[in-house]
Structure 1
Amino acid sequence: MTSTRRAPARGGGTDTAERTPAAAPRTDSGGGQHSFVGTGTLVRLALRRDRLMVPIWLGVLFLLTIMSSLSVKDLFGSAASRDQLAGSAGATPATVAMYGPSWDVGTLGGLSTWKMNTMGTVLLGLLSIFVVTRHTRGDEEPGRLELIRAGVAGRYSALTAGVLVALLTNVVSIPLVGLGLMAGSVGAGPSFGYALALALVGFVFTGLAALTAQLTESSRAANGIAAAVLAVAFLLRALGDTTSQISWLDWLSPMGWLVRFRAFAPQPHWWLLAPPVVALLALLVVGYLLAGRRDLGAGLLPARLGRPAASRILSGPFGLAWRLHRGTLLGWSVGFAVLGGALGSVSNGLDDFAASKGVRDMLRALGGQQALVDSYLSFCMALAALVVAVYLIQSLLRMRSEETAYRAEPVLATPVARLRWAASHITVATLGGTWLLMLMGLFAGLGRGGDDVGHQIGRLLGAALAQLPAALVLAGITIALIGLLPRWSVAAWGLLGLFVAIGQFGDLLKLDQRVRDVSPFTHTPTVLGGTVTATPLIVLALVAIALTALGLVGLRRRDIGAA
């Protein structure tokens, strides 16, 4: 066997191989301990990046909790008043569908958390989804994760960091919710028990986001799939609680687990804390298995191949904006169609509710059965306005993400002007929000049905579209933040949470009318069973236009990609 001598290095007697440091072991292969190396560093980076978003969301959750507990203590301090509430409003299908059964409304804690069952779950669920997706698929899509993985970072480090930060966020919510409930003279044990159950529901959606981040190549699609599952969870809980024949659907929803936990009952169902933990572990196992079997940058769901040549619609910024937003709009459209049909169908159950003599007397005092139905349907349209505001904020923040991902610069390097580029996103988002409200009115009318289904569709379409100007004010605020304070653009979510808090607890807290008027949703006239005036709608539209113009002026003057 012939040996091969290494040639000496030029200019010295040291071998080149001896002077070359050993190569670091690869960290992106299969399994093993190296697959998680760098997780701690990525956790610290994620915490720094989320230092604005997470505190804002948790602050809104704490504000909602403490306002709810203090208002209940002030207005329903006696057991008799709470029992009366549970026997009237708490028994209507509308409130049960929205907030859950009124089993424990007779207690201070049960009444304080009645609305938190839905609102708290949505807040923590969406926050968990956004955090996980942001630090996984959100970094992978523009190529940042590839640069991180090129260094000393393992295959599972980014996923683990995102999951850990989301779980930590839910853990931090426990003392916030617990202390917020205790402010209303609720016992510490039940308060923190409820806070723990709520956080565990957030754990479920953390695991769900870890799974959906492996399915698609787009962070928006991953968020959309997870948010759709959240909407289905609400729908399953609402249908199970309002329809005795399919009450078992309640057990399929994490929201149903929270409601049935009954933290303020004499004997809480502590065993219901186990299903969220099992669901989290199962979702994480599947998510990690999928993460280890796909290529970086790819998703498990195959991307559809494009045409050999771009269509003419992509020759301008409006076509590009439509291409970027159409998938998200499709998902939202399906959700609105299902939600509208379900809420419209629930209104038919009000006829059965009005059958008892006591309820008939109450309805007679309120203006009759039709007044109850109109009140419920008006509530559904107001709920749709809040959800459309969420869609508008999410869609318009796409402009900011296009900047930070350096995809806006190549477009603006062409003859496309800044205002034209921004107008394309604004137009698509505005038309999308209008379309969603139309779907809500159409399918709510179909769900209501009856012999005069055409009349019902017309009434509910008008009631739904009347909500558009208020939602557009949130769109204007988002555009103004993007143009003037791009670094604080995510504060639009916090302002939406503030408006929701004013709308939900303004009456209970007896807030001054000037405080209530801060929320644009306060000014929307009641179309169903009320007197409609165009003045507030015109004023809201003008405010939205002024905020949009202000944002566009700022966008035109500042640097693209500036913080």
Structure 2
Amino acid sequence: MTAATETRSAPPVARPPASNVLTGTGALLRFNLRRDRIRIPAWLGVITAIQVAGTSSYPDLYPTQADRQTQATIMADNPAMRAMTGPGYGLDDYTFGAMMTNEYLGIMVVIVALMSVFLMVRHTRTEEETGRAELVRASVVGRYAQLTAAMATVALANVTLGTLIAVGMGGLGIETIDWSGSLMFGAAYASVGLVFAGIAAVVAQLSEYARAASGLAGALIGVAYAVRAVGDTADNGLSWLSPIGWAQASAPYVYDRWWPLGLALVVTGVLVAVAFALSGRRDIAAGLRAGRGGAAAASGLLGTPQGFAWRLQRASVLWWSFAMLLSGLAYGSAVDVMEEYADNEVIQQMVEGLGGATLTESWLSMIIALLAIVCTVFAIIAALRPRREETSGRAEAVLATAVSRTRWVATHVLIALAGGAGLLLVVGLGLGGGAAIASGDGDYVWTVLAAALAYAPALWFTASLAVALFGLAPRAIGLVWVLLGYAVFIVYFGGLLDLPNGLLDLSPYTHIPRMPASDFAALPLIMLTVIASGLLAIGLVGFRRRSIDAV
């Protein structure tokens, strides 16, 4: 006789409830910092290096007070310069410190704002969109722990950046760039970053998708810059509605006013409080703003890989085109004042390697090179969109259909290459049009347009390198950004530092003929295009052979 055995299941283990809404914040903060142990130092290092290196070059660029006052006159008399930089503090006695406040602060804090937005969205909405936040919430974690940890992460990054800027600027030992002004200069950096961290925290509660949250916050950065530009140009006080205007109003090295930065801290506190209140009114992974209802049936184009890729990237293409057109017009409008620098020997040294019959031609060729590098940023981001789809898990679902890997990646790469060339076209029209309007010479439109389009092979090369790294070694994708940063350094300081040709040639942009200052040469453009084609082939073959989601 066999005795029946009784099966007993183990008693369920109850998860201890979180003791308060902030339980686990410290652990999440440490986890965030570990995840971003390369990303955050890279942001801080690049921003600090640009600011400190640029500042260190000014005593050579403007060795006498007369040189600095010439620059002050240009700042005061040219509305386009005020729109690009700021209102112009201390122009009566234009010291090196005043130059930093007027010519660097208003532009550099835009990069700081972008850093804050990307980091905040990464640690909030992206975590919810990918489902990781739900897994974290399943443990002993308070309701507001993730948002608090994200805010602490971004705040720590901004405070560290402000400290690095203050130490770097004060340590240069340049006349009028003292320690008290440097401390305020670093605090102004951090204040803008904190405000936009709060803005990003709020918009992350509104949208269901990280991309939409980043786009909305990025658009608000653009609005803040535009409001500041209009206010400074018209001198109507409108710039006081912009966090960028508050940072500039502190006027480091000139007036050293702390209260505008206090205003930024108050606004940051209000934004953070709003973000917490909104977070408590929604479910995880949901947004307070409902998504638009789609059509009952997708169009035929959306059912194709190329149509779907265009749908994913079209908004980015349009916004980038608008931004590059405005940038081109703004820079082009400044050509009428460039000849006032003709007697500055150091500026001549910086651009003499570009050739050109006039300083205006040399300056235009440098601006075209810089804007071409900015266009390359779009091309890299667009070319690496398959990587984002891969790591999010969406690529696997697409590739489970009849779509081949090669065709799927190639559709995104085509948008990157064609879109990048299209942006160069927009840059050429904007910059050439602005120069033509400012100078009254219509020939600028065609010469600048040709010069901008000549950079297409360099753009294709860099984007193709990103594709090759995506296919062969996804972990090494960051190298393409290093190359791009090096290219910017070469454009700014290559001629000034008289670097050897071996170092200059490491940048693909060095091989492009610097029109209108130099003559056209087809051979380097053909060579870069051929190499780019080879890199594309390597990337496509590499992705076809490796496993999906190789991180």
**C-alpha contact (below 8 Å) 2:471/2:540 kept by paired residues:** yes
Q: Is 1:298 the counterpart of 2:286 in the alignment?
A: yes
Q: How does 1:423-438 map to 2 (within 5 A)?
A: 423-438=410-425
**C-alpha contact (below 8 Å) 1:53/1:490 kept by paired residues:** no
- Distance in 2, matches of 1:23 and 1:419, equals 47
**Which residue pairs with 2:507 in the alignment?**
519
Higher mean C-alpha deviation, range 161-170 or range 282-291: 282-291
Residue 239 of structure 1 deviates from its aligned partner by 4.1
Residues 478/414 of structure 1: CA separation in 2 closer, same or farther (3 Å cut)? same
Deviations, residues 174-218 of structure 1 (Å, cap 9, x unaligned): 232122223421432222221111111111221121122223222
Deviations, residues 9-50 of structure 1 (Å, cap 9, x unaligned): x989x9x99x7666644x6xxxxx733332222212211111
**Which residue pairs with 1:66 in the alignment?**
52
Residue 168 of structure 1 deviates from its aligned partner by 0.6
- 1:227 is aligned, of 206, 218, 228, to 218
**Which residue pairs with 2:352 in the alignment?**
none
Q: How does 1:337-348 map to 2 (within 5 A)?
A: 337-343=325-331, 346-347=333-334
- Distance in 2, matches of 1:516 and 1:108, equals 29
Residues 233/301 of structure 1: CA separation in 2 closer, same or farther (3 Å cut)? same
**C-alpha contact (below 8 Å) 2:369/2:491 kept by paired residues:** no
- Distance in 2, matches of 1:237 and 1:256, equals 6
- Distance in 2, matches of 1:431 and 1:103, equals 43
Matched residue SS, 1:35: coil
Q: How does 1:123-162 map to 2 (within 5 A)?
A: 123-162=111-150
- Distance in 2, matches of 1:498 and 1:449, equals 31
**C-alpha contact (below 8 Å) 2:15/2:139 kept by paired residues:** no
Matched residue SS, 1:229: helix
Residues 448/79 of structure 1: CA separation in 2 closer, same or farther (3 Å cut)? closer
- Distance in 2, matches of 1:236 and 1:89, equals 19
Deviations, residues 110-149 of structure 1 (Å, cap 9, x unaligned): 4456653255323322211111111111111122222222
Residues 66/455 of structure 1: CA separation in 2 closer, same or farther (3 Å cut)? closer
Residues 411/498 of structure 1: CA separation in 2 closer, same or farther (3 Å cut)? same
- 1:387 is aligned, of 344, 364, 374, to 374
Residue 430 of structure 1 deviates from its aligned partner by 1.9
**C-alpha contact (below 8 Å) 2:101/2:252 kept by paired residues:** no
Q: Is 1:413 the counterpart of 2:400 in the alignment?
A: yes
**Which residue pairs with 1:204 in the alignment?**
195
Q: Is 1:260 the counterpart of 2:249 in the alignment?
A: yes
**C-alpha contact (below 8 Å) 2:370/2:488 kept by paired residues:** no
**Which residue pairs with 1:190 in the alignment?**
181
Residues 511/332 of structure 1: CA separation in 2 closer, same or farther (3 Å cut)? same
- Identity level (%): 41
Higher mean C-alpha deviation, range 522-531 or range 132-141: 522-531
Question: Which residue identity lines up with residue 189 of structure 2 in the other structure?
Answer: L
- Distance in 2, matches of 1:536 and 1:20, equals 70
Question: Structure 2: which 5+ residue stretches go unaligned?
Answer: 349-356
- 2:391 is aligned, of 357, 382, 404, to 404
**C-alpha contact (below 8 Å) 2:82/2:88 kept by paired residues:** yes
Residues 334/64 of structure 1: CA separation in 2 closer, same or farther (3 Å cut)? closer
**Which residue pairs with 1:310 in the alignment?**
298
Matched residue SS, 1:213: helix
Q: How does 1:439-518 map to 2 (within 5 A)?
A: 439-444=426-431, 457-518=445-506
- Distance in 2, matches of 1:68 and 1:454, equals 34
**Which residue pairs with 1:561 in the alignment?**
549
**Which residue pairs with 1:545 in the alignment?**
533
Residue 443 of structure 1 deviates from its aligned partner by 4.7
**C-alpha contact (below 8 Å) 1:437/1:468 kept by paired residues:** yes
Residue 173 of structure 1 deviates from its aligned partner by 0.9
- Distance in 2, matches of 1:468 and 1:90, equals 36
Residues 100/500 of structure 1: CA separation in 2 closer, same or farther (3 Å cut)? farther
Residues 397/509 of structure 1: CA separation in 2 closer, same or farther (3 Å cut)? same
Higher mean C-alpha deviation, range 517-526 or range 441-450: 441-450
**Which residue pairs with 2:167 in the alignment?**
179
- Distance in 1, matches of 2:399 and 2:444, equals 47
- 1:163 is aligned, of 119, 126, 151, to 151
Residues 57/201 of structure 1: CA separation in 2 closer, same or farther (3 Å cut)? same
- Distance in 1, matches of 2:139 and 2:229, equals 48
Question: Which residue identity lines up with residue 252 of structure 1 in the other structure?
Answer: L
What is the number of equivalent residue pairs in this alignment? 532
Q: What's the TM-score, normalizing by structure 2?
A: 0.83
Higher mean C-alpha deviation, range 440-449 or range 428-437: 440-449
- Distance in 1, matches of 2:24 and 2:492, equals 44
**Which residue pairs with 2:264 in the alignment?**
276
Matched residue SS, 2:384: helix
Residues 330/125 of structure 1: CA separation in 2 closer, same or farther (3 Å cut)? same
Question: Which residue identity lines up with residue 285 of structure 1 in the other structure?
Answer: A
Residues 337/290 of structure 1: CA separation in 2 closer, same or farther (3 Å cut)? farther
Residues 235/144 of structure 1: CA separation in 2 closer, same or farther (3 Å cut)? same
Matched residue SS, 1:34: coil
**Which residue pairs with 2:316 in the alignment?**
328
- Distance in 1, matches of 2:507 and 2:97, equals 27
**C-alpha contact (below 8 Å) 1:56/1:494 kept by paired residues:** no
Residues 377/227 of structure 1: CA separation in 2 closer, same or farther (3 Å cut)? farther
Deviations, residues 317-368 of structure 1 (Å, cap 9, x unaligned): 2222222222322333343344445555x44xx65x69xxx959969x99xx
Higher mean C-alpha deviation, range 318-327 or range 524-533: 524-533
- Distance in 2, matches of 1:255 and 1:248, equals 13
Matched residue SS, 2:212: helix
**Which residue pairs with 2:351 in the alignment?**
none
**C-alpha contact (below 8 Å) 1:486/1:562 kept by paired residues:** yes
- Distance in 2, matches of 1:90 and 1:539, equals 45
Q: How does 1:13-52 map to 2 (within 5 A)?
A: 24-25=16-17, 34-52=20-38
**Which residue pairs with 2:209 in the alignment?**
218
**C-alpha contact (below 8 Å) 2:371/2:427 kept by paired residues:** yes
**C-alpha contact (below 8 Å) 2:202/2:272 kept by paired residues:** yes
- Distance in 2, matches of 1:206 and 1:478, equals 29
* Root-mean-square deviation over aligned CA pairs: 3.7
Q: What's the TM-score, normalizing by structure 1?
A: 0.82
Question: Structure 1: which 5+ residue stretches go unaligned?
Answer: 1-9, 28-32
Deviations, residues 192-251 of structure 1 (Å, cap 9, x unaligned): 22111111111122112112222322212221222222233333334444x3x3553433
Residue 429 of structure 1 deviates from its aligned partner by 1.8
